[in-house]
A and B are shown apart, each in its own frame.
Chain A
């Protein structure tokens, strides 16, 4: 059994699966159930100052795709709408009862030092393991100059991080918003401010869809809609890229990353770890299926690590980072071509039409008496993978790397007018 114990910026948990700051971690009742279900940690839904915010009715919109629910989820919910004292009392009780689990408190107050100074001791007093600064919420709170309104300004990120570091002994995790052009700017600012760790991604500004009867963006609140924060499986690629960017950045070297954004199963978890995360946060998968989803995440990750002989999480964390490079460092001599296994081909023609209409006319079609046969024209195949992606049969189309004669990147390529000369 792989050892899934996690040490993240000094915060320990029995496994790397933490529930992200969101509705599932809004109160004691849910958090207890989460811990009982096996979650290694919880980031308590963001606390703010009293009086608490007021939330609306109708809060989520979902992206369905060809029958799959919740490919993406967006929400227009604000931070915790319960009194601060209630949250504080509950956090204290829960942490006392689950001392081995990580309990982080997400925080958001206006950008004035005295206000951060005022709330930090209250959190410290709960016995919580750390704080996460919510610089990410991209809807509602950002209109009040908090959340992503802070996260989008590196100077503010640095400033508030520094206030926190100066006013608490707790580890400070800075949660970054993806609603920026370059994730490295706020990430580096957090580090300059003294952050112990970063977590990302927060949700992406989105309009999940338009209600064509109400003629309003969804979710429709009394006839109108607003933009929300987008998450769920569909945002995973965006998260992986941003995490990788930070993980490979020399200025960020060594900073712990709590990765999140669409993690739905153990395989996603392994990918987030490989791209440089050392702990993980999950939300949509739990909101879709309940807390029990963690069982397979733990079990699956452990089984896979065993099969690959990764004994501990640090053995795995960041494994893919050195291979995440700019385009101009890829080998231009590499060639892969598609191969269709005629035995498992069902004759649906999707590879052919995709290649014929939208790619390189590299899949020929012949029609026999009883079946259609599709075959790759090797000379025409550029190895784009599209056919393999559209094929509905697993392992029917495989991409076969061809023997490579040395290495040449764009930097050395004869057609590159700016190539490096020897």
Chain B
């Protein structure tokens, strides 16, 4: 009997409700109340915790004074994807974790993310783009990869007066915002709306369907442009390393989410019983979306404890609130099949002795070393990896599985810069935005310096 995988487990209405905005925006009144909570700290710890260094007290003060345009500008000049970061950032381990209010009352930071969304949503509802472009430089930069890093880089370059061609393998730009994040985090086609907003600055040409190393080589890009920014992300996914891994019903969580984001919810198949393996936000996004598509039982299994999960406490709570069962300290050892069809996964306990404790007064009881979870669908979310194949022909240094860049985002290849998940550092949207922005500044400086030196030497 084939595994029970089906589309349309829920009515269209129910699906629409399940995938609507998980945390709707603040009203003006709510924003005013929340903004007034901010102490307007000097040298605020929250700014330090933001990878894009948004001047948070300043923008919150602006919201409080009803200077929403000023608030939005403050955010967007540091982080042009401030709208999606407000929705997807794990603020609980970034700005909000450092909010001094938490020193007075635990778990009661100023809701910085929600306020940021309020201001950026306001801006995006305005007809005009808030930034202009500097005088044209006559330079042309290629940005490969239209995810957060590439978008941020392209926008900053356009602001600085350069022309940009933005390439991506997908037909639509957006990268993980478009294809990799849970739908309810960026509801109402927010990723595309944000891109429309971002492109409104002008000077950015999008070329979808371009695959680096296949339809276009880095060498060509270098020839045809004054500089190249690589923001090609992590295109590989780790395998479980188990027999039968390619069997029907076993899928990468990344692919599951991409399918879900690319087609109508009603035609997205999901198992009746789903097992998600992994401990990061991709695992959580896959598990919760599986539940919201109508899976009856979703179990997320992680081989170690909460402390080492990269999904934050807020994400874990969110999964549990959505009816996902979390099972820790278990590693998959076998896919169970019957007549060639998936029936479940068997796990081996990895509990350290101190974890598998017993209740006080109970006789010690060794838990069984293995257990099997019945499954119609197994989603693998044990990590993504950088695939260097597209640039294998180029003299560009890769170390520890990522592109090597200096503090300005320069790779070892002249005129080629990189940022986002394909380079080392935290794999966060907001960190990718910073990488893109900083690389754009470096590209600008390098191109401008070239101009200066060539004028000094009298070259044309």
Residues of A in contact with B (beta carbons under 8 Å apart):
66-67, 346-350, 352-353, 365, 371-372, 392-393
A361 shortest CB reach to chain B, Å:
14
Instruction: Count B-side interface residues using an 8 Å CB cutoff.
Output: 15
A393 / chain B contacts, CB cutoff of 8 Å: 104
Which residues of B sit under 8 angstroms from A347, Cβ to Cβ? Answer: 41, 45, 100, 103
B338 close to A (CB within 8 Å): no
A349 to B98, CA, bound (A): 13
List chain B residues, Cβ under 8 A from A352: 42
Contacts of A371 in B (CB 8 A): 45
Residue in B32, B33, B39, B101 whose CB lies within 8 Å of A350: B39
Q: List 14 A-B contacts (CB under 8 A).
A: A66-B36, A67-B33, A346-B101, A347-B41, A347-B103, A348-B100, A349-B41, A349-B44, A353-B42, A353-B43, A371-B45, A372-B43, A392-B39, A393-B104
- Do B41 and A350 have beta carbons less than 8 Å apart? yes
Give the docked Cα–Cα distance between A348 and B64 (Å). 18
Of residues 323 through 338 on chain B, the ones whose CB sits less than 8 Å from some CB of chain A are none
Which B residue's beta carbon lies closest to that of A352? B42
Question: Complex Cα distance A92/B279, Å?
Answer: 78
A349 and B43 contact, CB distance less than 8 A: yes
With a CB–CB cut-off of 8 A, which chain A residues contact B100?
346-348
Flag whether B131 is at the interface (Cβ < 8 A).
no
Q: How far is the CB of B95 from chain A (nearest CB, A)?
A: 14
Q: Within residues 24 to 76 of chain B, which ones have a CB less than 8 A from any CB in chain A?
A: 32-33, 36, 39-45, 64
Residue in A353, A365, A372, A392 whose beta carbon sits within 8 Å of that of B45 in the complex: A372
Q: Beyond A347-B41, A348-B41, A350-B42, list 18 extra A-B contacts (CB 8 Å).
A: A66-B64, A67-B33, A67-B36, A67-B64, A346-B100, A346-B101, A346-B103, A347-B45, A347-B103, A348-B44, A349-B41, A349-B42, A350-B40, A352-B42, A353-B43, A365-B43, A392-B39, A393-B104
Hey, which chain B residues are within 8 Å of A353, CB to CB? Answer: 42-43
Q: How far is the CA of A300 from the CA of B19 in the complex (A)?
A: 52
Q: Separation in Å of the A102 CB from the closest CB of chain B?
A: 39
Residue of B nearest to A356 (CB): B42
CB of B1 to closest CB in A, whole Å: 56
Bound: A250/B100 CA distance, A: 51
Roughly how many angstroms separate A353 CA and B103 CA in the complex, as a whole number?
A: 20
> Bound state CA distance, A66 and B40, in angstroms?
12
Contact indicator A348/B42 (Cβ below 8 Å): yes
CA distance A352 to B39 in the complex (A): 14
- In whole angstroms, how far apart are the Cα atoms of A67 and B104 in the complex? 20
A60 to chain B minimum Cβ distance, whole angstroms, is 21
Minimum CB–CB distance for A146 against chain B, Å: 40
Between A348, A350, A352, the greatest number of chain B beta carbons within 10 A of the residue's beta carbon is seen for A348
Residue of B nearest to A348 (CB): B41
Q: Which residues of B contact A67 (CB under 8 A)?
A: 32-33, 36, 64
Chain B's closest residue to A374 (CB) is B42
Residues of A within 8 A of B64 (CB): 66-67
Give the CA-CA distance A353 to B44 in the complex, in Å: 11
- Taken together as a complex, chains A and B put the C-alpha atoms of A66 and B100 apart, in Å, by 18
A366, chain B: closest CB distance, angstroms? 11
Q: With the chains together, A347 CA to B41 CA distance in Å?
A: 8
Inter-chain CA distance A347–B100, complex, in Å, is 7
A371 and B100 CA atoms in complex are apart in Å by: 10
* B-side contacts of A346, CB under 8 Å: 100-101, 103-104
Query: What's the least CB distance linking B385 to chain A, in Å?
Result: 32
Name the residue of chain B whose CB is nearest to the CB of A354: B42
Closest to A393 in B: B104
Distance in angstroms between the alpha carbons of A352 and B43 in the assembled complex: 10
- Which residues on A sit within 8 Å (CB–CB) of B43? 349, 353, 365, 372
Minimum CB distance partner of B99 in chain A? A346
Which residues on A sit within 8 Å (CB–CB) of B36? 66-67
Closest to B35 in A: A67
Residues of chain B with a CB closer than 8 A to A350's CB: 39-42
**Least Cβ distance of A349 to chain B in Å?**
3
Q: How far is the CA of A371 from the CA of B103 in the complex (A)?
A: 11
Asked if A348 contacts B39 (CB within 8 A), the reply is: yes
Chain A min CB distance to B422 (Å)? 30
Residues of chain A contacted by B103 (CB below 8 angstroms): 346-347
Tell which of B41, B42, B44 has the most Cβ of chain A within 10 Å. B42
- A405: shortest Cβ distance to chain B, in Å? 36
Smallest distance from the beta carbon of B42 to chain A beta carbons, Å?
Answer: 3
A349: chain B residues within 8 A (beta carbon)? 41-44
Residue of B nearest to A371 (CB): B45
A232 to B385, CA, bound (A): 64
Query: What residue of chain B has the Cβ atom nearest to residue A349's Cβ?
Result: B42
Tell me, in angstroms, the Cα distance from A348 to B39 when the chains sit together.
7
The minimal Cβ–Cβ distance linking A326 to chain B, given in whole angstroms, is 37
Residues of B near A365 (CB, < 8 A) are: 43
Q: How far is the CA of A349 from the CA of B46 in the complex (A)?
A: 12
Give the shortest distance, in Å, between B58 (CB) and chain A (any CB).
13
Instruction: Give min CB distance, B189 to chain A, whole Å.
Output: 34
Residues of A close to B41: CB separation below 8 A = 347-350
Task: Provide the bound-state CA to CA distance between A360 and B302, in Å.
Answer: 56
3 closest cross-chain pairs (CB), A and B: A349-B42, A67-B36, A353-B42
Give the docked Cα–Cα distance between A372 and B43 (Å): 9
In the complex, A346 Cα to B100 Cα: how many Å? 5
Q: Report the bound CA distance from A353 to B100 in whole Å.
A: 16
Q: Which residues in chain B, 214-266, are within 8 Å of chain A measured between CB atoms?
A: none
Across the two chains, which residue of chain A brings its CB closest to B100? A346
> A357: shortest Cβ distance to chain B, in Å?
9
Inter-chain CA distance A346–B33, complex, in Å, is 21
Which partner residue on chain A sits nearest B40 by CB separation?
A: A350
Cβ–Cβ < 8 Å partners of B32 in chain A: 67
Between B33, B101, B103, the greatest number of chain A beta carbons within 10 A of the residue's beta carbon is seen for B103
Residue in chain A with minimal CB distance to B37 = A67
Which residues on B sit within 8 Å (CB–CB) of A66?
Answer: 36, 64
Please report the C-alpha to C-alpha distance between residue A365 and residue B40 in the assembled complex, in whole angstroms.
17
B34's nearest neighbour on chain A, judged by CB, is A67
- Min Cβ gap A367→B in Å is 8
Report B361 CB to chain A, min CB distance, Å.
39
Bound CA–CA A371/B44 (angstroms): 10
Given the complex, which residues of B lie within 8 Å of A348, measured CB to CB? 39, 41-42, 44, 100
Q: CB-nearest residue of chain B relative to A372?
A: B43
